Amino acid sequence: MSRESILHRVRTALGRLEGEAIADPPDVRLSVPAMEREARIAGVRRAVEALAGKTHRAANAEKARTLVSDMLAGRSAVASNAPFLAECGIPNLPGVAGGFPDGAVLREACASAAVGITSADYALADTGTLVLLSSREEARMISLLPPAHIAVVPAGRILTGLDELFTVLPLPARSTSSMVMITGPSRTGDIEMTLVRGVHGPGELTVIVVG
């Protein structure tokens, strides 16, 4: 085991003693600008669309359900256990599978579904980023395995940006073992710097802001 020898080398090189206290790290100034609700919504939509994602606005849960239904147009889908999706009645739409209690069954469903539907814990207005915390309500694979991802996000969950995220969630590890930030559809430029969408994750991303 090299633990002690590596730590010893580090301490010797830095001239530090084992367990020696340290000063606090330099402050990071997190700035949260004042931003109206409508500006936040507009920001998310602009940023997602700039990345070739699609966005919609639904006035209420009922309208969100209709939007999702139209969008699916008969395609098979997997919905997460997010209470907000249930509130919208999305898991009950025809062709939508949901209520998965465990990973193995969910994985099979996600591997064959055309669309994955999730909510989001937060969205960031400046970059159009969706923030999803893994839990019994949100699985990781629904936003990852199917070729298309629809996120249905309450307007009240939109933050101004990364600084506000780390202000409201200074320690994500307290809430989850996995937080993922999704900014636009999966993409690559690995061959001749040519942009190709959907190389491993979903190539289509749709954000529906509700409220």
Of residues 135-194, which lie at the interface with another protein (CB under 8 A)? 135-136, 139-141, 144-145, 162-163, 165-166, 170-173, 176-194
Indicate the SS3 state at residue 24. coil
Site for another protein in 60-89 (CB under 8 A): 81
Q: How far apart are CA 119 and CA 82, in angstroms?
A: 6
Q: Which residue from 126, 125, 122, 116 is spatially nearest to 154, judged by alpha carbons?
A: 122
Q: How far is the CB of 136 from another protein (least distance, A)?
A: 4
Which pair of structure tokens corresponds to residue 54?
Answer: 């699609």
Q: What minimum distance in Å lies between the beta carbon of 208 and another protein?
A: 19
Whole-number minimum distance, CB 49 to another protein, in Å?
14
User: Given candidates 129, 146, 151, 210, which one binds another protein under the rule CB under 8 A?
Assistant: 129
Q: Which stretch binds another protein (CB under 8 A): 25-33, 36-44, 62-70, 86-94?
A: 25-33
d(CA 45, CA 188): 22
Q: Is 59 helix (H, G, I), strand (E, B) or coil?
A: coil
- Pick 41 or 159: Cβ nearer another protein: 159
Half-sphere exposure of 208 (CA within 13 A, CB side): 26
